[in-house]
Amino acid sequence: MKLKAVLALSVLPVLFTSQANAFTVGVLMPTQDEARWYREGFGIENELKNSGFNVELFFGGDIDVSLQQRQIKRLSNDSNIDALVIGSIDGNALADALTIAKSKKLPVISYDRLITGTDAVTYYATFDNGKVGEIQGKFLIDKLHPTVDDPKNIEIFYGSLDDNNAKFFYGEAMKILQPYIDSGALVIKSGEIKPEETNIPSWRTDLSSKRMDAIMDKVGYGPESGERLDGILSPADCISSGIIFTLKKRGYTVENIPVITGQDSTPDALKNIQEGYQAMTIFKDGKQLQDTVLDMVKAISKGQEANINDTTTYNNGVMDMKSFLCTPELIDRSNINKLL
Ligand code: GAL
């Protein structure tokens, strides 16, 4: 084929997929390094493009808050951008970066994590995060059957303090666990219960592994001669993976590993569940969340109100959020096949 013909063919698809006048959405995801956000960033991009929208997708590097602030400002100043979808790194640190968007009345969808301290947010697309914590708490009780006569030792991990979701996971899980802790049926030997004591900054796997090591040393937990450890409330798979890494290193096997919870159905977690190292995770259907965002973008692009199903659960410190809450689902060995 002649060079000219090859060039013409290679240019054609570009002309057809990128529509000069189409509504353009700037999509910002917190990091490409965590399986969940990488998958969902490209998922939203595809979904929006398939419906004829233009997309500019950015990831927040190595969980870099200032990079994300700069991305928001740059996209807000870009006259081609018609709306922003933001999965925040630190939801409390974006109010300033959003002032340009606010002054231009640029619609902003807060994706999964709530952006707080500003009224620049138009809609919040997320999951029922309280329900996630409730499922995790109930799962631990169902598996451990703690009673005052047969108490069980557990440890608690909180997510990242700068993530509003972490509050909901912990809050609802603790509503289930606290009565057992109060009665002595559940015992936290490290004595570390509060968010300030149990949080994992930026949800980092290496830091959860480190904290698990520190707890082991503090309490003397161990698979054979050490203190018995029965369960761990972990809010998300990225934290569970770090915990499991430490426990394996310390000699735990599938025979004696504590009951460990999780969330996100990451590839790592699914493997750990199949092998017996992790007891459960939560499936947050990325497609459901992406469809929600797509519906919101469609409505916004037509100047209409988007379909929401909640206005009372989330307040970002400035206003009640117009939210759509998707449904989380428990995954354990009994139903993991549907995700494999
Ligand atoms: C939360 C999110 C969880 C998990 C976690 C770590 O905001 O709701 O599903 O992904 O971040 O990235």
Q: 147-189, pLDDT tens digit by residue? A: 999 999 999 999 999 999 999 999 999 999 999 999 999 999 9
Supply the mean pLDDT for the chain: 94
Confidence label for 35 from pLDDT (cuts 50, 70 and 90): confident
Residue 14 reports pLDDT greater than 60 = no
Share of residues in the chain with pLDDT > 70 (%): 94
Q: 284-340, pLDDT tens digit by residue? A: 999 999 999 999 999 999 999 999 999 999 999 999 999 999 999 999 999 999 999
Q: pLDDT at position 27, please?
A: 98
Closest-lying ligand 1 atom to the alpha carbon of residue 282:
9
Chain mean position to CA 143: 24
Rounded-to-10 torsion of CA 62, 67, 71, 73: 160
Q: Is 264 in the pocket of ligand 1 (CB under 6 A)?
A: yes
Q: Which of 171, 169, 173 is nearest to 159 (CA)?
A: 169
Residue nearest to atom 6 of ligand 1 (CA): 203
Residue 21 reports pLDDT greater than 90 = no
Mutate to test the pocket of ligand 1, among 39, 89, 163 (most ligand atoms within 8 A of CB): 163
How many whole angstroms from 155 Cα to the centroid of ligand 1?
20
- String of DSSP letters for 20-72: TTS-EEEEEES-SSSHHHHHHHHHHHHHHHHTT-EEEEEE-TTT-HHHHHHHH
Q: Is 236 in the pocket of ligand 1 (CB under 6 A)?
A: yes
Mutate to test the pocket of ligand 1, among 32, 88, 116, 165 (most ligand atoms within 8 A of CB): 165
Helix%, strand%, coil% for the chain, nearest 5: 45, 15, 40
How many whole angstroms from 140 Cα to the centroid of ligand 1?
20
How many whole angstroms from 83 Cα to the centroid of ligand 1?
23
How many whole angstroms from 36 Cα to the centroid of ligand 1?
8
Q: Which of 170, 160, 197 is nearest to 261 (CA)?
A: 170
Strands 323-326, 123-127: pairing is parallel
Q: pLDDT at position 277, please?
A: 98
Q: 50-103, pLDDT tens digit by residue? A: 999 999 999 999 999 999 999 999 999 999 999 999 999 999 999 999 999 999
Share of residues in the chain with pLDDT > 90 (%): 92
Q: Which of 84, 21, 107 is nearest to 303 (CA)?
A: 107
Q: Which two tokens stand for residue 55?
A: 């997309």
Residue 6 reports pLDDT greater than 80 = no
How many whole angstroms from 235 Cα to the centroid of ligand 1?
8
Confidence label for 7 from pLDDT (cuts 50, 70 and 90): very low
Residue nearest to atom 12 of ligand 1 (CA): 203
Q: Is 266 in the pocket of ligand 1 (CB under 6 A)?
A: no
Q: 191-247, pLDDT tens digit by residue? A: 999 999 999 999 999 999 999 999 999 999 999 899 999 999 999 999 999 999 999
Dist CA 160 CA 145 (whole Å): 29
Q: Is 131 in the pocket of ligand 1 (CB under 6 A)?
A: no
Q: Is 112 in the pocket of ligand 1 (CB under 6 A)?
A: yes
Q: pLDDT at position 18, please?
A: 53
How many whole angstroms from 29 Cα to the centroid of ligand 1?
12
Q: Is 152 in the pocket of ligand 1 (CB under 6 A)?
A: no
